[in-house]
Chains A and B, each alone.
Chain A
Amino acid sequence: MDGAISAPLARRAVRRPGQNYARRYWAFAIPAGIVVITVMVFPWLFTLFMSVHDWHIGGTRSWAGLANYAHLLDDERFQTSILRTLYFTALSVAAPVVLGIAAAVCFHRNFPGRGIARTIFIMPMMATPVAVALVWTMMFHPQLGVLNYLLTSVGLPPSEWVYNAGTVIPTLVMVETWQWTPLVMLIVLGGLASLPTDPYEAAILDGANGWQMFRHITLPLVWPFVVVALVIRTIDALKAFDTIFVISGGGPGSASETINLLLYLTAFNYYDMGYASAIVVVFFLLILAITLVLLRVRQREKWL
């Protein structure tokens, strides 16, 4: 690769260093471009192609026009999964963002043991999702699980956790919050580190208390970082798969069947690739639309 790239570039590069290299530097991106075309662009085009076909693995394969998309419009299971995904997403954005801001404010202050406390705090985010999901599954066990033991030992009624259609989504949100609050914390912490100290000094002189300073100085200044965390969290919550798949499998019944779960079942249980591809396209457009709306809110930072 060394020779292949440098040879053609070498002849041109020598003369005018410094300026107008922009186009030549694109050569550096060619190998990555080939990879991206193979594993990302090609799958996208193929998905669009499949979505207008009736395409079953080991079965029929014929032109279907927009039939798959039309089917989405009267597929109640799909429409319910959208609502469920939005419900799951709203909760799994709100909880980690609020807790993450609180955590960032704590970890921004200096105290002995901060390093190790922060390391432990970010571990849920780094740990293998399937592995921690299995541990949560064991903790949710209605009879033998440690969580119900803890609840009853402080006098609260036991919960059915993921075995009840009403509690399954809040329970999954709890796991999601446990896992992803650290990411929000890190992003907001980065914001706090960049804040000026002058407004605080003035506020202390004016006799402001801690909450007033947080509400009127910290929060407005750190808001762009919060919005970044919000956008990232929304995208990830919409796409959540591993924990839901492992812990509830979309159940009980279909009570936690989000779009992503339905997509998996359609493609790899029912082998209906055409319909699955149509779901992919609509799912992607939904994520894109929500992301763009949120990005309009975002003003300053260039992250993501």
Chain B
Amino acid sequence: MRGRRTSGEYRLRRVAGRVGLYLSVIVLVSPALLVFLWMLSLSLKNEVDNMAFPPVFIPNPPTLDNYVQVFAQNDFLSYTINSVIVSFSATFLALAVGVPAGYGIAKSRATKAALLILIARITPGLSYLIPLFLLFQWIGLIGTLTPLVITHLVITVPIVVWVMIGFFEGLPGELEEAALVDGATIWQAFRYVAMPLARPGITVAMILSFIFSWNNFIFGVVLAGRETRTLPVAVYNVLTFEQVSWGPLAAAALVVTAPVLLLTLLMQKEIIAGLTTGGVKGG
């Protein structure tokens, strides 16, 4: 054994290590924390305080006027409804087609399917948009929510399929074989044996595809009309059309992202499990 040390030296090193660790964690976490706190601070201050220099950090007194203004003047309620409709429909449809697909691919060990998903993963969202925009224009669907739901499938279907392949591959498979021996069809083995077992995987797929659909901006910016804006598009428009008005802008931004942040807080484990099975991200 080299480098024998006294117990005092060890203790000192341990304490120094601890302090170093805490300092690093603080350095790592504070950019995230500070940006969100600043967002909250901007949204709770009046316009005078928001334009003050040096900046006012703590809202005094905090005001909800910005939130009232966002909903009263910018019709955020209807944009929220649009976002809810689009994200829920796109997620539900993706689960309906993606869960069985994930099962089929996992069972038939189709490695080529993984290649397809890789291609979907590397294709920029805009490249789907150009032809789909022309198609929807031709059919006359621009200005309704349908094109948004359909294009959001570009994001949600690969996420669901990918997460579900991983989960179904992880299942033992003996229970389904037992069911098949007992005379079940492969559809029944899937529906009544494999699918209930994969419920945690379905939850993960659902959360991730909902979040990435909710966050999507580019499809909405091209395909949404005045009435059919989703929340990310609506909040962007607050910036472009109302000059610099920071309070309402920050309030709007917080309204858009609050559901997602809440989901992250509540479902942290599921989200991390899903993201680490393949770094899925849409758009």
A interface residues with partner B (beta carbon < 8 Å): 1-2, 5-6, 9-10, 13-14, 17-18, 21-29, 31-36, 38-40, 42-44, 46-47, 50, 57, 99, 102-103, 106-107, 109, 111, 115, 117-124, 126-132, 134-139, 141, 143-144, 146, 149, 153, 178, 183, 186-187, 189-190, 205-207, 210, 228-229, 232, 235-236, 239, 241-242, 245-246, 260, 263-264, 267-268, 273, 276-277, 280, 283-284, 287-288, 291, 303-304
Q: Is the interface of A mostly helix, strand, loop or mixed?
A: helix
In the bound complex, do residue A235 and residue B211 qualify as a contact, i.e. CB atoms below 8 Å apart? no
In the bound complex, do residue A47 and residue B35 qualify as a contact, i.e. CB atoms below 8 Å apart? no
**24-62 of chain B: CB within 8 A of chain A:** 24-25, 28-29, 31-33, 35-36, 38-39, 42, 51, 53-55
- Give the interface segment out of B65-73, B74-82, B180-188: B180-188
Cα-based distance from A287 to B268 in the complex (angstroms)? 31
Known: A14-B185, A186-B272. A137 touches B279 (CB 8 A): no
In the bound complex, do residue B154 and residue A40 qualify as a contact, i.e. CB atoms below 8 Å apart? yes
In the bound complex, do residue B218 and residue A111 qualify as a contact, i.e. CB atoms below 8 Å apart? no
The 8 lowest CB-CB distance pairs between A and B, nearest first, are: A28-B104, A17-B180, A32-B101, A6-B187, A46-B131, A131-B253, A207-B3, A10-B185
**65-116 of chain B: CB within 8 A of chain A:** 93, 96-98, 100-101, 103-105, 107-110, 113, 116
**For residue B118, which residues in chain A have a CB less than 8 angstroms away from its CB?**
291, 304
Least Cβ–Cβ distance between A109 and chain B, in angstroms: 6
Find the residue from B25, B96, B244 having the highest chain A CB count within 10 A: B25
In the bound complex, do residue B157 and residue A32 qualify as a contact, i.e. CB atoms below 8 Å apart? yes
In the bound complex, do residue B185 and residue A28 qualify as a contact, i.e. CB atoms below 8 Å apart? no
Known: A32-B161, A284-B127. A120 touches B108 (CB 8 A): no
**For residue A228, which residues in chain B have a CB less than 8 angstroms away from its CB?**
279
Known: A50-B130, A276-B130, A287-B124. A25 touches B186 (CB 8 A): yes
Q: A132-B35, A236-B281, A264-B218 are in contact. List 20 more A-B contacts (CB 8 A).
A: A13-B184, A13-B185, A25-B107, A25-B186, A29-B101, A29-B105, A32-B101, A43-B130, A120-B33, A127-B215, A127-B261, A130-B253, A131-B235, A134-B236, A134-B249, A146-B55, A187-B279, A246-B217, A273-B130, A303-B279
Least Cβ–Cβ distance between A53 and chain B, in angstroms: 12
12 inter-chain pairs at a CB distance below 8 angstroms, sorted by A residue, are A18-B181, A29-B113, A32-B97, A35-B157, A39-B154, A47-B127, A124-B31, A128-B260, A130-B256, A153-B54, A186-B272, A263-B127
Cα-based distance from A50 to B31 in the complex (angstroms)? 45
Least Cβ–Cβ distance between B78 and chain A, in angstroms: 18
For B251-283 the 0/1 string (1 means CB < 8 A from A) is 001101100110111001001100111110101
**For residue A99, which residues in chain B have a CB less than 8 angstroms away from its CB?**
28
**For residue A263, which residues in chain B have a CB less than 8 angstroms away from its CB?**
124, 126-127
Selected contact of B260 from candidates A2, A40, A126, A189, CB within 8 Å: A126
Least Cβ–Cβ distance between B218 and chain A, in angstroms: 6
**For residue B233, which residues in chain A have a CB less than 8 angstroms away from its CB?**
130
**For residue B105, which residues in chain A have a CB less than 8 angstroms away from its CB?**
25, 28-29
In the bound complex, do residue B249 and residue A138 qualify as a contact, i.e. CB atoms below 8 Å apart? yes
**For residue A31, which residues in chain B have a CB less than 8 angstroms away from its CB?**
96-97, 100-101
**For residue A50, which residues in chain B have a CB less than 8 angstroms away from its CB?**
130-131, 134
Interface status of B163 (Cβ within 8 A of chain A): no
Cα-based distance from A27 to B254 in the complex (angstroms)? 43
Selected contact of B28 from candidates A23, A29, A36, A106, CB within 8 Å: A106
**For residue A235, which residues in chain B have a CB less than 8 angstroms away from its CB?**
121-122
B interface residues with partner A (beta carbon < 8 Å): 1-3, 17-18, 21-22, 24-25, 28-29, 31-33, 35-36, 38-39, 42, 51, 53-55, 93, 96-98, 100-101, 103-105, 107-110, 113, 116, 118, 120-135, 150-151, 153-154, 157, 161, 177, 180-181, 183-188, 190-191, 211, 214-215, 217-218, 222, 231-233, 235-236, 239, 244, 246, 249-250, 253-254, 256-257, 260-261, 263-265, 268, 271-272, 275-279, 281, 283
By beta carbon, the residue of chain A nearest B184 is: A13
Cα-based distance from A258 to B120 in the complex (angstroms)? 21
In the bound complex, do residue A131 and residue B32 qualify as a contact, i.e. CB atoms below 8 Å apart? no
Q: Is the interface of B mostly helix, strand, loop or mixed?
A: helix
In the bound complex, do residue B264 and residue A40 qualify as a contact, i.e. CB atoms below 8 Å apart? no
**For residue A42, which residues in chain B have a CB less than 8 angstroms away from its CB?**
131, 135
Least Cβ–Cβ distance between A96 and chain B, in angstroms: 12
In the bound complex, do residue B104 and residue A288 qualify as a contact, i.e. CB atoms below 8 Å apart? no
By beta carbon, the residue of chain B nearest A114 is: B25
**For residue B257, which residues in chain A have a CB less than 8 angstroms away from its CB?**
127-128, 131-132
Known: A32-B97, A47-B130, A178-B35. A149 touches B217 (CB 8 A): no
In the bound complex, do residue A28 and residue B100 qualify as a contact, i.e. CB atoms below 8 Å apart? yes
Cα-based distance from A272 to B87 in the complex (angstroms)? 30
In the bound complex, do residue A131 and residue B254 qualify as a contact, i.e. CB atoms below 8 Å apart? yes
Cα-based distance from A115 to B55 in the complex (angstroms)? 32
Least Cβ–Cβ distance between A77 and chain B, in angstroms: 17
By beta carbon, the residue of chain A nearest B277 is: A303
In the bound complex, do residue B126 and residue A232 qualify as a contact, i.e. CB atoms below 8 Å apart? no
Selected contact of A128 from candidates B96, B184, B232, CB within 8 Å: B232
Selected contact of B275 from candidates A18, A121, A153, A183, CB within 8 Å: A183
Least Cβ–Cβ distance between A2 and chain B, in angstroms: 7
**For residue A178, which residues in chain B have a CB less than 8 angstroms away from its CB?**
31-32, 35
